[in-house]
Amino acid sequence: MSIQTIGVIGAGQMGNGIAHVMALAEYNVLLTDVSQAALDAAIEGIAGNLERQVSRGKVAEADMGAALGRINTTLALSDLGATDLVIEAATERESVKQAIFEDLQPHLQPQTILTSNTSSISITRLASRTDRPERFMGFHFMNPVPVMQLVELIRGIATDQPTYDACRAVVDKLGKTAASAEDFPGFIVNRILMPMINEAVYTLYEGVGNVRSIDQSMKLGANHPMGPLELADFIGLDTCLAIMNVLHDGLADTKYRPCPLLTKYVEAGWLGRKTQRGFYDYRGDEPVPTR
């Protein structure tokens, strides 16, 4: 399967990062969202990120202009039916993802590969709701996409070898590294990472340490570049909670039970950096712990 054109669904942080790296790798990209404002912000964000790469000598100025020229936007989901590979990067809710694939299906070419950037939802289950489970797989980028080197490739139970090989070839062309994961809740990265973050929240909840001491302990004691609570704020506490619920529901093991304090922060709308408050308050010049 030769992939030339790529459709990206969702113009948020992940979607615009995926469009960015695909365009740099000389793929023609069609980016869609339900909001024109989101599409405009995505293009502005991609241009800003490319400018930073140019200033650091990582991207040539001519390549930046060419990459931006390869990205087009549309409000019509149906327009993506003409692409060779679709990467869904919408909200991490299964019902939303299923509805998107259902709406897109009548417009697809027979050979189009469907993928999801989901961080934890069953690929087999998503694929089963489409007309092409053999040409469906998980294509999970890490955040921020232009910086992080890993891409998890997850086969559903029906995914065929040509589909896997085609997606693997795309990852290689991006200059990134593919990790093959089986279709179990959380795959590899989040199966390991999210329980660590959840345990850090329990450590806070039980008063073993405060926000600053927990993060300093893991940065200085385990050589982590970011503390687990700082990282949770960066990811989004709503996303962390959603993944923990997928792990808890899918594996039926109490060790994956989301910490009540994580649930409480999400209920308060304190979701981390994107809302200016989470385990840290970002409204001032410096982040201040909220506990």
- Residue 11 assigned ligand-binding role: yes
Quick one: which H or E segment has residue 258?
none
- Residue 58 assigned ligand-binding role: no
Q: Verify whether residue 116 is a known catalytic residue.
A: no
- Residue 15 assigned ligand-binding role: yes
Distances (CA, A) of 245 to 122, 155, 232: 13, 22, 15
- Residue 119 assigned ligand-binding role: yes
Which one is catalytic: 20, 94, 120, 152? 152
List all residues 6 or more positions away from 189 whose beta carbon is below 8 Å from its beta carbon. Answer: 119, 140, 142, 150, 152, 179
Which one is catalytic: 49, 116, 190, 198? 190
- Residue 278 assigned ligand-binding role: no
Measured CA to CA, the distance from residue 201 to residue 63 in angstroms comes to 43
- Residue 274 assigned ligand-binding role: yes
Q: Verify whether residue 190 is a known catalytic residue.
A: yes
Which one is catalytic: 88, 117, 122, 140? 140
- 42: tokens are 């995505």
- Residue 232 assigned ligand-binding role: no
Q: Verify whether residue 120 is a known catalytic residue.
A: no
Which one is catalytic: 119, 120, 122, 198? 119
Q: Verify whether residue 140 is a known catalytic residue.
A: yes
End-to-end CA distance of the chain: 52
Measured CA to CA, the distance from residue 99 to residue 42 in angstroms comes to 23
Residues belonging to the binding site for NAD(+) are: 10-15, 33, 92, 97, 119, 143, 274
Query: Which residues make up each annotated binding site?
Result: 10-15, 33, 92, 97, 119, 143, 274
The residues annotated as belonging to the active site are: 119, 140, 152, 190
